[in-house]
Structure 1
């Protein structure tokens, strides 16, 4: 397509591009302009000197991070927690959307949808406070129930035995409803004639889900999985900051919290920027790798 023909097509659909303009401007201002600040990771940043007046430090802060005695522990914990969230949590919105699609009672369906969406809009501070009230061994409802059956109270929080279950479980509870929206939209777009044809062939509800619904949302699921892989180096700052404690620090200290504590708490902005850049580069490599694998295996990819 020649440049002249391209501009003619753009001009013909100019109204549609005008609708896109606010999003493009926002994306440019908040995603591309800040890239100028990446150089902080390679400078001894000082507020008085700014970006251009601070002296170059090269790879000094990257070396500091990798020589830090807890660097391997931070990377390991981040990957383990992120993998657990991905492997367990990724399928939950798909299952919820399929189950809701099978519900024929509209009132019940809308009620469940609303209840599953609401936790997404609740801050992690509120969620963790609720967990503390419900799970405490000192008068918490759950432990009171266990005690009524003659069982000993369980310390669910600040306990290495239950730490991963609490992290993954609370993350799924908070996000499952919101993440299922796109799958519900994909299911709604499946041609109903495919279900009718499956019924004629004698397929029951389970086989209709297996042979019609799942293939119908496969492409969306692959794309979302590729995007989710990019978060393997980011386990979630607020959740881990609130749920992690001295007793679980060995398995709960992650890069996100380390970056915030180093940059804001200790004022080591260049060091924090270097660690954050390391996370971003690894995330980019993971997305490109998984995207290439997906394109070869399933012919579905981001680009």
Structure 2
């Protein structure tokens, strides 16, 4: 049974969800995409091996976590996450980041090389230094309108998210944009600002953790070439390309949940899929 908590962390009230695991071991900390509440990842959590504890949280300014008084960057947010995991009684943890949250997950690996045991990067890139999406896609990322206008969300679903949303654009509102999953506009802007000037590209060779990269073969927001670049620069990484788009961690959760579970449980990263 998932526990929903509100914890005071580094002066912030943070909404947290913890699904306890049935076996001992480090928890999996999920870092969500821009503008999205922790509820969005429920389909994926449901497919993760029940032996693994899963921790989700709303970034300050998003969902159930009130906005911070001052802007933050990835380094400060990683410090908050590390402290949050401390508060929950864990030393080591595994980190999974999707999209914007993939940047935060990479930052956690940088800042906590001994505590962050394994890393999963889903539908994400290296920040400012990456192969960008088309301008028509990037322009739609600048505002949270797609979160608030269901007609607009359906109209851009195929172009924005690709994969399953090309075939079933009417599903986008149920998967991604239901009202209870929205965060305030200010929180969305703070997340955009956090990524300005940040890039993991020069430091990727320094990440020693076993890493699983998950990338859709039809992702308009993060072109597949970015996953291949990360795979070439990370010393202990494997790449799994799945047949879906940017929201594949959710819409293909039945495939990716068990895959991630096997990666986290394997004695080495060599057991992760190496398809490319």
Q: Which has the higher strand share?
A: 2
The two structures have a TM-score, normalised by structure 1, of: 0.22
- Which has the higher Rg, Structure 1 or Structure 2? 1
Q: Which has the higher helix share?
A: 1
State the structure with bigger RCO (CA 8 A, min sep 6), 1 or 2. Answer: 1
